[in-house]
Structures are given as C-alpha cells and as structure tokens.
Amino acid sequence: MQKSGYEFLGDVAIADVAFKAWGSSLEELFESAAIALFEVMVNTKSVKFGVVKNFELKSESIDELLYDFLSYLIFLKDTEKLFLSRFEIKIDKNEVYRLLARVYGEQIDIKKHELRVDVKAITYHLFEVKKIDDKWVAMIVVDV
C-alpha cells in the first residue's frame, strides 16, 4: 500500500460512490480523501490552482472532522462553483481537533474540465476513520 492515496470500491454502494483513503498522518489522510472526492467529479489533473481558499474547522472527534471537512469542500463546490485539486492540511488537538486548510482550485468550466458525476453529499453509511498499524484509513460513501 502506498504511503498515502485512495481507491474506489465498486462493490460497496450501488447508487453511490464509495472509496477508501489513507495516509501515514491525519493530514495525508485528509488530503487523499479530498483528492478522491474531487476525482469522483472531475479529472483533477485538469484543475489549475488559480483560486486559493483558507478555512478552519473544529470538532470533538476525528471522524466528525473528516466528515465536516469533506462536506465543506462540497459546499465550496456548490456555492462558489469551484473544483479543487490541491490541499494543504494541518491538524492539531487540544480540547478539540482543529483543522487549518489551504485549498487550491479554479472555477468550474464545462468546456475545459473533464466532468464526471456531481457529488451531492457525504453519507454516514459505512463512514469510519481508524488507525491501522502506522496508517490512518477512512471509508467514505458519497451521494451522487
């Protein structure tokens, strides 16, 4: 298994898209999950880095933080019409988990981007984050 990455799981969800993402750190896991999320919608190699967004999220659990992070990326796609293709994540924990993100992308352009399917939401179906040996792994199903 690669240090970080993702794979689509064709036999998990019939009407939705499922994928597993992983990384050797929480930051790598979140970056892998974000790339996989946008790969469902577009060939991310066709998305340039002209728009930069910074945001912060907080949550009491790492599962909720990943769910909120991916949901916020969908919110940016829907409200600001952005495809994203690069993610810089920093996660720390004091009383709660805190995520600082800088994300890069560009306005959706149907003439330029290789469109796939639109993701409507992250689901709770089979959603989990766990540490296995020296890797963080997440199972994610998205509603399309």
Q: What does the angle CA 140 – CA 144 – CA 125 come to, to the nearest 5 degrees?
A: 35
105-143 tens-digit pLDDT: 999 999 999 899 999 999 999 999 999 999 999 999 999
**What's the domain count of the chain?**
1
Residue 66: count other Cβ atoms within 10 Å of its Cβ.
28
17-42 tens-digit pLDDT: 899 999 999 999 999 999 999 999 99
Torsions phi, psi for 26 (to 5 deg): -60, -40
Nearest by Cα to 72 from 36, 27, 121:
121
pLDDT tier for residue 7 given thresholds of 50, 70 and 90: confident
With a cut of 70, say whether residue 4 has pLDDT above it.
Answer: yes
pLDDT tier for residue 15 given thresholds of 50, 70 and 90: low
pLDDT higher at 2 or 86: 86
| Residue ranges making up the domain that contains 135 | 5-143
Q: Is 62 exposed, middle or buried (0-12, 13-18, 19+ CB in 10 A)?
A: buried
Nearest by Cα to 93 from 52, 61, 141:
61
HSE (CB half, 13 Å, CA atoms) of 87?
27
pLDDT at site 13: 58
41-82 tens-digit pLDDT: 999 999 999 999 999 999 999 999 999 999 999 999 999 999
Residues in the chain: 144
78-95 tens-digit pLDDT: 999 999 999 999 999 999
**Inter-residue contact 8 to 18 (CB < 8 Å):** yes
- Tell me how far apart the 2 most distant CA atoms of the chain are, in Å: 46
Dist CA 112 CA 101 (whole Å): 26
CATH number at residue 69: 3.55.10.10
pLDDT tier for residue 104 given thresholds of 50, 70 and 90: very high
